Amino acid sequence: MKKETAIFAGGCFWCMVKPFDRWDGVQSVVSGYTGGHTENPTYEQVKAGHTGHKEAVEIKYDPELITYEQILEVYWQQIDPTDDEGQFQDRGDSYRAVIFYSSLEQQKAAEQSKQKLANSGLFKKPIVTPILPAGPFYPAEDYHQNFYQTHEEEYKADRAQSGRDEFLNEHWEQDETKH
């Protein structure tokens, strides 16, 4: 079985696990921190905004069962790609949406998918999600892993309060039970 990695920031990482977790070929989705300058940051440090890190997910997948391009399609449908100040109720640099690539092929695929989204006319504002080289990824504390399963009620309440589902349903015509 092959294994490749995709890393995405899309606001609160609690809401970024479940959408990828349910796809055949996705082997694991880990919540964590990347894109900053502090080694082994803690949640409190990242949330305070002094590490440069984003809350992100690291997705391990089998490219023979799900392609990077398919994973990108799932990613775009979880975020507001026109917001460069955070995502939904979560504001600030640590909650900005970013695609982190680990190969030239991923960079090209991400740039093509971003251009395709921009050309689609789906959004009136520009698509501002940056595409940056991946750096070290630090898994978050155990408490944050698979949060939608381990803290189901808190997850549902946070997600309902965030405004994420209303935005996604308006722009992507999704069924809220899929989030």
CATH number of the domain that residue 169 is part of = 3.30.1060.10
Q: Is 15 a catalytic residue?
A: no
Beta strand residue intervals within the chain, DSSP E? 4-10, 26-34, 54-61, 86-87, 90-91, 97-101, 131-133, 137-139
pLDDT digits (tens, 9 = 90+) for 108-159: 999 999 999 999 999 999 999 999 999 999 999 999 999 999 999 999 999 9
> 149 lies in which domain range?
4-173
Residues 33-72 pLDDT 10s? 999 999 999 999 999 988 999 999 999 999 999 999 999 9
| Token pair recorded at residue 96 | 């900005």
Residue 177, pLDDT score: 39
In a domain, 179, yes or no: no
15 domain residue, yes or no = yes
pTM of the model: 0.93
Q: With beta carbons less than 8 A apart as the criterion, state whether 56 and 137 touch.
A: yes
**Is the residue at 52 inside a domain?**
yes
The number of domains in the chain is 1
pLDDT range class, residue 88, cuts 50, 70, 90: very high
What contacts 77, CB < 8 A, 6 or more positions away? 19, 168, 172, 174
In a domain? residue 178: no
Is the residue at 130 inside a domain? yes
- Is residue 44 in a domain? yes
Catalytic residue among 6, 7, 9, 12: 12
